[in-house]
Structure 1
Amino acid sequence: MDTIWQPSLDGRSGPKYAAVAEAIRDGVRSGALTTGEKLPPVRELAWTLGITPGTVARAYTELTDEGLLLAAVGRGTFVAEQRAQAAETIPDGPMRLYGPSLPDVGQVALIRELMVKVGQQGGVSDMLDYPSRVATPLRDAAIRWLASAHLGPLDAADVVPAHGGQHAILLTMQAILRGSDPVILVEEMLYPGFRRAADLLRARPVAVPMDEHGLIPGALEEAVRRHGAQLLCTSPEVHNPTTLCTPEWRRMEIVDVARRTGLQLVEDDCYRLGTPVGRPYRALLPEQGWYVSSLSKHLTPALRIGFAVAPAGRGAGLRRAAEHGFFGISAPLADLTVELLRAPKLARLMDDARRTMNDYVRAAVNVLGGHDLTWREDVPFLYLGLPSGWRAGAFCQRAEAAGVQVRAADEFVLRDGRAPHAVRISINARHGLARFEAAMQKLRELLDNPPEQISV
């Protein structure tokens, strides 16, 4: 059936074809366009919008490639049948909010489709040889994917694929650390993976005090000089677990310390879902800034694909750590990742996943916002300070008894560190939003009714 729906480009920035495509996507999402409806002919819509027919044709082609539209030769362009998303993709049981879980917005079907494609086009050598040591298409695809991070000039030799962000951190440490008793500096509240990687390399982690802007530069310089530290592991864009973002003026103060002391800066940027707030250390201090990212929080953690980026000209150490440790990413997995990063619908899938995660964040804020809650819409977890009467361990136990599993702040400090009475709540978008909101209500009930006796 024909549609009387017409898109509006008011308030839409960017290329005109992209604005047309996004208007049609919005129409499908809102229900204004339903399965089987016929879109206006290219020339008719172009005349209505005051743009060229080629612009409309490009938008239709992009949406057809995505599977949103269906082009029928001689009949026109129609809204394709949309794959229904299950409201619940995890069986009933405890609401696990230990770590973020992405919704399936179509990436599962895309990955399955690309696995078939890669399996059919791979040569004999892909299935029988060790990974290649030379620059691969995966590095080139990674450079395009990392462009939004604004890392400065990138060469394929600077980028080394890894089996996830945690593995990329380990490779980076292996490329930097020297001596029998290396010291790694970390934030006093830290991503536990920094500590675990240090343990594997028999390195000694030392915590540096923080304030509301991040690491305190004076304390950082004192720690470098006192302990002879070689590198700092930090997350300036999205601090884990507090969601804090270090402003660029504070980053520049940290860069000054690193420049004076020779400290290497290793930035973990795996949790950022939106546009970066400030420039990464690799751009601010190109000769000492290292960078780590992965696909886990954007598309899926199942593929275990991450990237370690060295300062210009220092990629040899990263490549050596990879070759000596695991030879490199297997050819079939590398080919699959290249196809995924080149997929026309990739940007839309990541945008849909980000919007869905944002819906869950807002739902949590609506329920818990009256308490000491720190959050950002582009971060897939929230940080909750507990009211008087609650200890983090006791709160986690009571929450788990109510069917909600969260992580105590104790897990985000060094073994001899002191943790605040707080918990991290991760977004699990694989449960239906209604069930997630019910879990937030259970946490709210606990917060509103602290125990009369404090558990020790």
Structure 2
Amino acid sequence: MTDTTWVPDLDALPDRRPKYDRLAAAIRTGIAGGDLVPGQKLPPVRDLAWKVGVTPGTAARAYRLLTDAGVLTAGVGRGTYVAETKSPPSPVLLAEHVFDASGDVNLFSPKMPDLGQGHLIATLAAQVVAQMPADRLMRYPSRVTDLAARQACLAGLHADVGPADVEDIVATNGGQNAIVLILQTILRGPAPVMLGDAISYNGFRSAAEMCRAELMAVPWDDEGPDPQVFENLVRQHGAQVYCTASEVNNPTGQATSFARRQQIAAIAKVHGVHVIDDDCYARIDRVGPSYRALLPDLGWHVASPSKTISPALRIGFAVAPKAHAAALVRSAIGQSFGVSPLLTDLYAALMRSPEIDGIVQAVRARIDRDVGVVVTTFADCAPGYAPGIPFVWLVLPRTWRANDFVAAAKARGIHLKSSESFLHRDSRMVHAVRIAVNGLLAPDRFDAAIADLRDLMDTPAARISV
């Protein structure tokens, strides 16, 4: 097959990520949109670099990211091709019967499409219960009963999490529970101070409140958290822990650059600050190593299948620094005795299933389709997003305030989350909204809602100040 004539346009999808990351995202978008098809040959590295206006090293790194993720295939002397897609599980459940064609459109929080995982979970749950010894159903969970789940988690960890073994992993009741457990393990004193990103997942604030800790905001620039502000807050307030999501900030979609992670890690090491790295959105095209890899004695990694398979699977995993693994185990036992064998055995069975990879790929493809609609519709607004991540961050034009836009959208039957939901009390106000993908909506209804939001943005109500 001859080389494709398709050329990604990096300027059409402006954002703040490194060029190799943007190029990889553009290729993914081309595949999701059908411009690139399985088996199609891509241009050689030097040709692509010249056409796009980047260095050959940048193009090579984008290809390598996508090859490692299985999106592309490559061979010496053969070239680079779009990977042949795996056969989807049979049958793939598009679940049109669960689509709600009436009522409001909920884009408030991400909702995953059911592309076979619902049926697979139900089938395996019945098998797990049928095969489980009776005494296992009559005992508290333990490190023995959740061993298979921890092994499955270990097998799925990216190398950038750093060296780990099964004893470093603690099963939790979801990713949020993992964050709380870690904080309960490491926070000290009557009034501990935590740091968090100025625009971030509000679960960090909830966890701080539960642990009676004060949470202070660290602003970001194009590379990630401001290292000078970070160090000043540590010095002035004796912060003990920093909560972040280095691969996918929720809600902006921005990743912390590798260089900035190194800077933050160096400061944290000097001052003994723990870093919790929330990786529940599990970005495929990794930007750099986790803080756990950069801080072997102070870095913590949090993972969960909630954002890739189903949020109904209330299981998560905390990967501790080796020196703190035993303390985290004690915290988990003291809080809930562990995670039910019904869940840990089900998770292990799901990870062993030959169907699960195809389902996860199908889910990500649907997410990319919907995100692509939003990004294309609002391309002039430089929306923030990441491949396979079910939300888009939209900074509003000066004609709109965030809460007014949310209220106006609600009047049209579309529910969004305002930037205010992601800001700390002392954060600088940003007038933006997060548009979440709702996989339970039929695609045409989702597309119509996005078009309606564009119309709303372009027709702000007149204001008169008195």
Give the TM-score, by structure 1 length.
0.82
Structure 2 CA distance for aligned equivalents of residues 308 and 444 of structure 1: 40
Alpha carbons of structure 1 residues 392 and 24: separation in structure 2 relative to 1, 3 Å = closer
Structure 2 CA distance for aligned equivalents of residues 352 and 315 of structure 1: 35
Alpha carbons of structure 1 residues 401 and 248: separation in structure 2 relative to 1, 3 Å = same
Stretches of structure 1 lacking an aligned partner (at least 5 in a row): 1-6, 16-21, 26-62, 69-80
Aligned to 2:51: none
Could you list the per-position Cα deviations for residues 324-375 of structure 1 after superposition, in whole angstroms to 9, with x for gaps in the alignment?
1111011111111110111112111111111110000111122222334222
Aligned to 1:449: 459
How far off is 1:85 after superposition?
A: 3.7
How far off is 1:261 after superposition?
A: 0.8
Alpha carbons of structure 1 residues 153 and 455: separation in structure 2 relative to 1, 3 Å = farther
Aligned to 1:398: 408
Aligned to 1:128: 138
Alpha carbons of structure 1 residues 399 and 149: separation in structure 2 relative to 1, 3 Å = farther
Moved more, 394-403 or 446-455: 446-455
Aligned to 1:259: 269
Moved more, 293-302 or 410-419: 410-419
How far off is 1:416 after superposition?
A: 4.0
Structure 2 residue corresponding to 1:140, chosen from 151, 164, 171 = 151
How far off is 1:295 after superposition?
A: 0.6
Structure 2 CA distance for aligned equivalents of residues 158 and 454 of structure 1: 60
1:46-85 equivalence runs, <5 A: 68=90, 83=93, 85=95
**1:378 aligns to what SS in structure 2?**
coil
Structure 2 CA distance for aligned equivalents of residues 185 and 107 of structure 1: 36
The question of whether the paired residues in 2 share the 8 Å contact of 1:182 and 1:204 is answered with yes
Structure 2 CA distance for aligned equivalents of residues 312 and 157 of structure 1: 8
Structure 2 CA distance for aligned equivalents of residues 197 and 412 of structure 1: 14
Amino acid at match of 2:266: D
Alpha carbons of structure 1 residues 97 and 414: separation in structure 2 relative to 1, 3 Å = same
How far off is 1:170 after superposition?
A: 0.5
How far off is 1:163 after superposition?
A: 1.2
How far off is 1:88 after superposition?
A: 5.5
Structure 2 residue corresponding to 1:291, chosen from 281, 301, 305 = 301
1:351-366 equivalence runs, <5 A: 351-366=361-376
The question of whether the paired residues in 2 share the 8 Å contact of 1:374 and 1:383 is answered with yes
Alpha carbons of structure 1 residues 9 and 421: separation in structure 2 relative to 1, 3 Å = closer
Alpha carbons of structure 1 residues 350 and 8: separation in structure 2 relative to 1, 3 Å = closer
1:106-125 equivalence runs, <5 A: 106-125=116-135
Amino acid at match of 1:278: G
Alpha carbons of structure 1 residues 217 and 453: separation in structure 2 relative to 1, 3 Å = same
Amino acid at match of 2:153: A
Aligned to 2:311: 301
How far off is 1:24 after superposition?
A: 7.2
Aligned to 2:229: 219
1:168 pairs with 2:178: yes
Moved more, 87-96 or 317-326: 87-96
Structure 2 CA distance for aligned equivalents of residues 83 and 332 of structure 1: 24
Aligned to 2:73: 13
Moved more, 124-133 or 297-306: 124-133
The question of whether the paired residues in 2 share the 8 Å contact of 1:208 and 1:220 is answered with yes
Structure 1 CA distance for aligned equivalents of residues 266 and 310 of structure 2: 36
The question of whether the paired residues in 2 share the 8 Å contact of 1:87 and 1:431 is answered with no
1:431 pairs with 2:466: no
**1:202 aligns to what SS in structure 2?**
coil
How far off is 1:116 after superposition?
A: 1.2
Aligned to 2:278: 268
| Equivalent residues, number | 393
1:249 pairs with 2:309: no
Structure 1 CA distance for aligned equivalents of residues 92 and 244 of structure 2: 41
Aligned to 1:232: 242
Amino acid at match of 1:140: Q
Structure 1 CA distance for aligned equivalents of residues 282 and 173 of structure 2: 19
How far off is 1:419 after superposition?
A: 2.2
How far off is 1:378 after superposition?
A: 2.7
How far off is 1:304 after superposition?
A: 0.9
**1:222 aligns to what SS in structure 2?**
helix
Amino acid at match of 2:273: L
Alpha carbons of structure 1 residues 313 and 369: separation in structure 2 relative to 1, 3 Å = same
Could you list the per-position Cα deviations for residues 25-49 of structure 1 after superposition, in whole angstroms to 9, with x for gaps in the alignment?
4xxxxxxxxxxxxxxxxxxxxxxxx
How far off is 1:84 after superposition?
A: 5.1
Amino acid at match of 1:296: S
**2:73 aligns to what SS in structure 1?**
coil
Alpha carbons of structure 1 residues 255 and 444: separation in structure 2 relative to 1, 3 Å = same
Stretches of structure 2 lacking an aligned partner (at least 5 in a row): 1-36, 42-71, 76-82
Alpha carbons of structure 1 residues 209 and 366: separation in structure 2 relative to 1, 3 Å = closer
The question of whether the paired residues in 1 share the 8 Å contact of 2:92 and 2:116 is answered with no
Structure 2 residue corresponding to 1:101, chosen from 100, 108, 111 = 111
What RMSD in Å do the two structures reach over aligned CA positions?
2.3
Structure 2 CA distance for aligned equivalents of residues 131 and 408 of structure 1: 40
How far off is 1:377 after superposition?
A: 2.5
How far off is 1:455 after superposition?
A: 8.8
The question of whether the paired residues in 2 share the 8 Å contact of 1:188 and 1:413 is answered with yes
1:310 pairs with 2:323: no
Alpha carbons of structure 1 residues 406 and 173: separation in structure 2 relative to 1, 3 Å = same
